[in-house]
Amino acid sequence: TRTAAVIPAAGRGVRLGPGAPKALRALGGTPMLIHAVRAMAASRGVSLVVVVAPPDGAAEVRSLLDAHALPERTDFAVVPGGETRQESVRLGLAALPPEYGIVLVHDAARPLVPVDTVDAVIEAVREGAPAVVPAVPLADTVKQVEPAEVPGAPEPVVATPERARLRAVQTPQGFDRETLVRAHETVTEDVTDDASMVERMGPAVVVVPGHEEAFKVTRPLDLVLAEAVLARRRL
């Protein structure tokens, strides 16, 4: 079966601050989205990349893809996204031709994921896991709190999960296509990643090693780090 990558890129990037939609902002002079597309197309296992563009930006994304050198063995498609990440992923899934039995979902906001991580996720799905997420151990201890009603007020700590058993999850997350489509049809609550929808339905989700360079560009400091990682690669 063939593998497609869906790249949700329709978010505004509110936490990054004012400016163009996050996926279209430059990193080392090239839009973040183009880095993410190249990271997926770099895997020989990926034969189609579907970009889910900002709702009013599909034409702009199409011309960006045309303007940048991309591997010829890979097909590209662009669809307009939705209000939430979940909705954007659903719209991307709906655009997949039938021959794609494995789907990766990869945030445009993780432009620097190494190809080895992409390949490891695909491999684990091919070996039979219905849902696979790359993840890394945490550096910080995590506390569960009772959120304060007033922002900034002290928040009571409820629990401290054992750090050694926690993982910070990244993308691309890989799925048996039918499993992911079913999850999107079944789960209606808001979630922050695709695998959690599959978890709610029952099928086992497994974790494979992620990579520190697969971090998500979320806040301004992340852009500084991303620029530094790129500069180091270009040495």
* 196 sits near ligand CTP (criterion: CB under 6 A): no
Nearer to ligand CTP, 104 or 108 (CB): 108
* 47 sits near ligand CTP (criterion: CB under 6 A): no
Q: Give the residue nearest to Mg ion (CB).
A: 11
* 173 sits near ligand CTP (criterion: CB under 6 A): no
Least distance in Å: CB of 182 to ligand CTP? 21
Pairing of β 173-176 and β 2-8 = unpaired
Nearer to Mg ion, 11 or 21 (CB): 11
Q: Which of residues 9-38 bind Mg ion (CB under 5 A)?
A: 11
Whether 42 and 119 have beta carbons less than 8 Å apart is answered as no
Burial label, 134 (beta-carbon count in 10 A; 0-12, 13-18, 19+): buried
Site map 18..37 versus ligand CTP, x via CB under 6 A: ----xx--------------
Q: Which of residues 92-111 bind ligand CTP (CB under 6 A)?
A: 107-109
Q: Which of residues 53-92 bind ligand CTP (CB under 6 A)?
A: 81-85, 88
Whether 53 and 10 have beta carbons less than 8 Å apart is answered as yes
* 13 sits near ligand CTP (criterion: CB under 6 A): yes
Tokens 């002079």 label which residue? 29
